[in-house]
Every structure is written in C-alpha cells, then in structure tokens.
Amino acid sequence: MSFDLALENGTVCTGDRLFPANVYVTGEEVAVISSIREKFPARETLDCSGLFLLPGFIDPHVHLSLNLGRYTSVDDFDSGSALALSGGVTTLIDFLDPVSSLSDFEKAKKSRMQTAADSRIDYAFHVTLAGSPGFSAEEIAEAAIEARMPSIKIFTTYSSSSRRTGDGMIYRLLSLSRKLGFVLLAHSENDEIINEISSDYTSPTFRELSSLRPTISELSEVAKLALLSLDRKGQLYVVHVSSGETIRALSSMGVDWRDFTKLETCPQYLLLNNEPLEGEEGYLNTYCPPPRSENERLLLVSALQRGEISSIGTDHCPFLVQEKSENRADYSKMPNGSGSLGLSFAALNTLLNGNLVKVSALLSENPARIFGLFPKRGLLAPGSMANIAVV
Ligand SMILES: [Zn+2]
C-alpha cells in the first residue's frame, strides 16, 4: 500500500474527538487514518508532530468580485482563495447575483461560475433573490435544488435597491424548505425602521451609523423570522447576526427556535465594537450591519461560548482605502464591506480558549451539515475529502 501524501504524528480533531494519528491521502480523498505506530510509505511525507489536523474550514459567506456598479469588491477568486487557504479555509460559499426571473437564474449561474474558475479551493454558491420576483417559491426552490445550490438568500431590507423580499414569499419558502431540502438564508433588518430613521439624518457622522441601523431593526426582524420558521418547521439561517442582544431576545422568547433557525456571526462583530467608527479613519469601518456597542459584543461572545451560534461566515467584502476615502463625505455612497477572510480560526481559537472541538464544529462540521456538504466535508475520516487544516 502506498499513498500520495502522509501527514504523520499529528493529533486529529474531528467530531467531538481528539486523538493522535497518521493521515494518509490518495488523490483528493483521505484513504486511511492509522494509529501513530502504524506507518505506511507515501510519495510525500510531512511530520506533523505537535500539530493538530482539523477538517478544512468552510466559510459560508463571502463576496469575491462582487460588482456593486461603481465598485467591485477587491478580492477575486484567485486572491480571495489564497487568503482563505492562509487561514485553513478549504471551501468557500459565495452568492449568485440577485435574480428576479428563472432566465436570470441561468445567467447568474453561468457568469458567477466563470468568475470563480480561478479559485484555488472548492467553492459553491447560494442563490440570491431580488425583490418582486417573477417566479413562485416552488419554481425557484426547484430550480435551485436542480442546480445543486440548495440555499436561497433573501433580504428583508434594501427596498430602495429592489432587493427586499416580502413576508408572504418568506412564509412560502420556509414552508417548503424542509420538505424540498434547502436552506433559507436571511439578511434580517427591518426595512421600514431603517428608512424611517434615515429621514432624521441629512449627513450622519460615522459615529451615528450604528444608530442609523439600530439593533432593534435586526432583533425585531430575526425574532419574526425565527417564529415563522418555528411555525413552518422551516430551515432558516440568519446571516451576520451583529448583536448579542438579538440572541438574548430569541432565547428569552421561551420557544424552541434552535431546530428551525441557525445563526451565523462574523469575526468583526465578535472582535470589534463601534468605537473604531469614531475618529479620523472611521469611514474605513463601514460595513452592514454596523458594529455594535461593547456590551452587545460581549453578549455575542457569551452566546458563542454557550453554543447558540452555529456557524461563522466572514462576509468578506473589502474595498480599497481609496474607494472608501473618496466617499467619506457622503455615507450613502460608501461601498460597504470589510475584509476578514482567513481570520476566523485565529479569532475563535482565542475566544474559545483553544477548545478545538468547539472551533472545529463552528468552522467545519456545522456549516457542512447545514449546507449539505457533510460528510465529504466537515469530517476527517476515510472517504472524506482531503481538505485538511493543519494548525
Ligand atoms: Zn454578505
């Protein structure tokens, strides 16, 4: 027996177990995991003494080469995937452009697949809906599943750019999600609250950005969607939860939301509060939802430690300093987004005090299970993909 690659003398961390082992790879798959004493010849052998081997991380929320009209997010699939690899991320899930018809969907699929062709790692896409779609919930769900993209993203806000999906469509999609086998991803902020508050500000300072999109606009919308999902026994995944208050409110509702609603947060909400918005370079910290108060950040970290968050996406969407800077006088023109792809492992390993079982669940097994990639990904075992993060 001879293998392509041997990773010997390391400690494997997969599922809820940590054990010393050698990992042997043939082609793209893990072939054998043996005890340390049992060794086999391989074309290339790496000594992993003192190192941990985890199933490669999955970042389920990135925006590479996202075309916003005036600007395009600066990392493409080549540079973005290199950055991902540097942090142990071996699978990315990006988004198709918003679609409002089935023919749009075919076009969006083709163009994003072409854009992604130079990725160094595995990738997939979520389908994104535009507002007032020209299809029924059944039609788009079936098209997405047939295209092997079983996750559909909706926005509850951005009516001004025609991306808001109404509650009726959300209700239908949640009703279908478990039966047909797809996940409904929701960017959850209350559109009307945000529009109402915006009219109070003619030119907000950067410090005021948190107030422009207040926590209650997130909290009220996430609570509503979680209740809808509970009622419909749906499969809901809330992207980029920014405030620990949102999760505290969910948990205080006294309903068992967790089987029907999974929560994602991002390294920037776990690590940063809204103080960087103050001062000279505040404009560089513009992303959506905005960073929150220190108290809300701490609540978010406790929710993470208690296991109330399922998955970490980075929402990686960086722009050049120049592109941010030339819009510093007018927030409404600012390209929103920041860069954190590849930072999730370091952030979580610190926040979870080196508990690799928890880190690996959040970065690998949970997103793999939620998005139908398990057990080929999210697991380190014979037959799984040889996507391995060595730390
Ligand atoms: Zn995003």
Q: What is the pLDDT of residues 151-193, one digit of tens each?
A: 999 999 999 888 999 999 999 999 999 999 999 999 999 999 9
Helix, strand or coil for residue 67? Answer: strand
Give residue 305 CA to ligand 1 midpoint distance, Å.
Answer: 23
Instruction: Supply the pLDDT for residue 244.
Output: 98
Ligand 1 center to 214 CA (angstroms): 18
The yes-or-no verdict on residue 204 having pLDDT over 80 is no
Rg (the chain; Cα; Å): 21
Domains of the chain in sequence order = 3-50 (2.30.40.10), 57-370 (3.20.20.140)
What is residue 278's predicted lDDT score, i.e. its pLDDT?
85
Q: How far is the CA of 149 from the centre of ligand 1 (A)?
A: 17
- Surrounding ion ligand 1 within 5 Å at CB are 315
Tokens 């968050």, located at residue: 309
CA of 194 to the centre of ligand 1 (A): 18
Ligand 1 centroid–CA 64 distance in Å is 10
Give me ligand 1 centre to Cα 379, in Å.
26
d(CA 70, CA 93): 24
**What is the CA(63)–ligand 1 centre distance, in A?**
7
Q: How remote is the CA of residue 216 from the centroid of ligand 1, in Å?
A: 20
Q: Are 187 and 162 in contact (CB under 8 A)?
A: no
Tell me the CA–centroid distance for residue 126 and ligand 1, in Å: 11
Task: Give 211's pLDDT tier (boundaries 50, 70, 90).
Answer: confident
Grade residue 39 by pLDDT with cuts at 50, 70 and 90. very high
Distance in Å, CA 272 to ligand 1 centroid: 17
Ligand 1 centroid–CA 62 distance in Å is: 6
Ligand 1: distance of its center to the CA of 170 in Å?
18
**Banded pLDDT at 205 (limits 50, 70, 90):** confident
Per-chain mean pLDDT for the chain: 95
**Beta strand ranges found along the chain (DSSP E):** 3-14, 17-26, 29-34, 42-47, 52-55, 57-59, 89-95, 122-128, 151-155, 183-187, 236-238, 261-265, 311-312, 388-390
pLDDT tens-digit readout, 50-88: 999 999 999 999 999 999 999 999 999 999 999 999 999
pLDDT at 212: 87
Centre of ligand 1 to C-alpha 315, Å, is 5
Predicted local confidence at residue 210, as pLDDT: 78
Question: How many angstroms does the Cα of residue 44 sit away from the middle of ligand 1?
Answer: 39
Q: What is the DSSP string of 360-371?
A: HIIIIIHHHHHT
Q: Are 361 and 309 in contact (CB under 8 A)?
A: no
Residue 288 Cα, ligand 1 centroid: separation in angstroms? 8
> Using CA atoms, how far apart are residues 343 and 136, in angstroms rounded to an integer?
39
How far is 126 from 124, CA to CA, in rounded Å? 7
Indicate the Cα dihedral angle 63, 68, 71, 72, nearest 10°.
30
Distance 61 CA to ligand 1 centre (A): 6
Cα 312 to middle of ligand 1, angstroms: 12
10 pLDDT band, cuts 50/70/90, is: very high
Burial of 308-345, coded b for 16+ CB within 10 Å and e otherwise, reads bbbbbbbbbbbbeeebbeebbeebeebbbbbbbbbbbb
The two structure tokens encoding residue 330: 């007018």
